[in-house]
Structure 1
Amino acid sequence: MTRFPLYEVMELNARFKGASPEAVLTYAAETFGERLTFACSLGLEDVVVFDLLSKLPEPPRIFFLDTGRLHQETYDTLAALRERYGLPVETYFPRHEAVEDFVNGYGPNAFYESLELRKSCCAIRKLEPLARALTGADAWITGLRSDQAATRAGLERFELDNAHGGILKINPLADWSLEQTWAHVRAHQVPYNKLHDQGFPSIGCAPCTRAIAPGEDIRAGRWWWESPEHKECGLHVKIAQETR
């Protein structure tokens, strides 16, 4: 695992300012090879990245975090992507002992009771599996966009991921709008989660996701009982970066 100095990340952002997602992904694949991976959540943005990666001569390893509490439509999306593109997708599950301890100690829906318990549930079902999935990686790709949430404002194409040993985090759609994302899906007939057609712009675990009303923020349906600044599971938390 390679730790990237912040100045190199800043240089990459300057170099690829205004570049297309295809250019970013081509650079990533050519530079990191087998030490590059894509965390596919099967949301709208992620299926776009999946489609773009399928066009590379050698697509990177792709993985999916199955929390055990997902919608059936999410599994249907995974099956459709596998059939359409023929690319393997590795699935990572939470440690069953940790899930059992949490549920036995606090109940199956304890995440509604407090922010601390919700974050604990996310840590068990998402963060620990993510850490395993990133083992040996020098860089990982996400489908994040800067206008998805207040917590993602100012998102860059390249970030230093100090939460996972200082590896590189690559966000090829960082400056795309929701309209651009949908346009790509429609133009290329990319399989997508049908919950998007039912008012779910952002989709996570079934108990923690609801449809939104017209005019609501696109992340309003995620952990809707919490304030906007808390609406992250921890997968994309930022840790202070050193300047050297």
Structure 2
Amino acid sequence: MTHSLDIAALADSYAQRSPQDILKLAMDSFDNLWLSFSGADDIVVLDMALKINPEVKVFTLDTGRLHPETYRFLEQVREHYGIALEVLSPEHQALQAYVHEKGLFDFFKSGHGECCGIRKIAPLRRKLAGVDAWITGQRRDQSPGTRSHVPVIEQDTSFGTEAHPLVKFNPLANYSSEDVWNYIRMLEIPYNPLHERGFVSIGCEPCTRPVLPNQHEREGRWWWEEAIQKECGLHAGNLIAKSS
């Protein structure tokens, strides 16, 4: 498939198109395309993608610190849809050295950057180095501080390079949490049971907690840190876009 797409023009022309239209564009434009599934409410983009192309390739990051409910949900999704879910794990030696030196809960003192770097960013970087485009479940309403400008299509400058450009599709960018849950309920698709316990944004178990009524969902992530830091690095480009 062609890789000489005018990403800025496509982002503009597809800015108000449906998630399904954006997914179809992604699948029509790239063979080496992967969908990133976290085991949270991005089940919606996975369900949409599989309805368009049941052969879409899907990966997930296993940090080694997910909730038991999330691990069970990942297996439920694999069986429900009959898909091969590629699970990416941290590099063993780097993780072992980090835990040996700093323990299992250093992020409460030093911030989540180093832990996320080893458990999430490095495995994702290895994966995306061999990929031409990827799909995420990011939404603008997930974080007014860092995701409010997320485009539906973008050149991924965080993981792509000049030698190996990478395109990132965010089909749910315009969706609200209400849109997501209307979809889940209407189509009766599986969802992570942690959502029933007040977990809105779901990540690693030590770094995720339920939110109270009228709290924003990202307030349940890395709550001991300043709001501007509430990206693990998977979507680091959001911080750059926000500051520019």
The TM-score with structure 1 as length reference comes to 0.92
Q: Which moved more, 1:121-130 or 1:80-89?
A: 80-89
CA distance in 1, matches of 2:137, 2:26: 14
Q: Secondary structure at the match of 2:175?
A: coil
Superposition pairs of residues 13-24 of structure 1, within 5 angstroms: 13-24=11-22
Superposition pairs of residues 54-203 of structure 1, within 5 angstroms: 54-115=50-111, 118-149=112-143, 150-165=145-160, 166-203=165-202
Give the share of equivalent positions with the same residue, in percent.
43
Residue 199 of structure 2 aligns with an amino acid whose one-letter code is F
CA distance in 2, matches of 1:151, 1:57: 31
The TM-score with structure 2 as length reference comes to 0.92
Residue 110 of structure 1 aligns with an amino acid whose one-letter code is D
Unpaired stretches in structure 2, ≥5 consecutive residues: none
CA distance in 2, matches of 1:24, 1:72: 33
Q: Which moved more, 1:180-189 or 1:11-20?
A: 11-20
Q: What are the Cα deviations for residues 4-46 of structure 1, in whole angstroms up to 9, with x where unaligned?
A: 78xx22101122121111111111111102x1001111111x1
**Corresponding residue for residue 40 of structure 1:** 37
Higher relative contact order (CA 8 A, sep 6+): 1
CA distance in 1, matches of 2:21, 2:55: 14
Task: Say if 1:145 and 1:152, in contact at 8 Å, map to a contact too.
Answer: yes
Superposition pairs of residues 213-228 of structure 1, within 5 angstroms: 213-228=212-227
Q: What are the Cα deviations for residues 89-131 of structure 1, in whole angstroms up to 9, with x where unaligned?
A: 100100111111111111110010022xx20100000001101
Task: Say if 1:63 and 1:133, in contact at 8 Å, map to a contact too.
Answer: no
What count of residue pairs does the alignment treat as equivalent?
Answer: 234
Unpaired stretches in structure 1, ≥5 consecutive residues: none
Q: Secondary structure at the match of 1:64?
A: strand
CA distance in 1, matches of 2:233, 2:240: 14
CA distance in 2, matches of 1:190, 1:135: 32
CA distance in 2, matches of 1:113, 1:39: 29
Cα offset, 1:57, TM superposition? 3.4
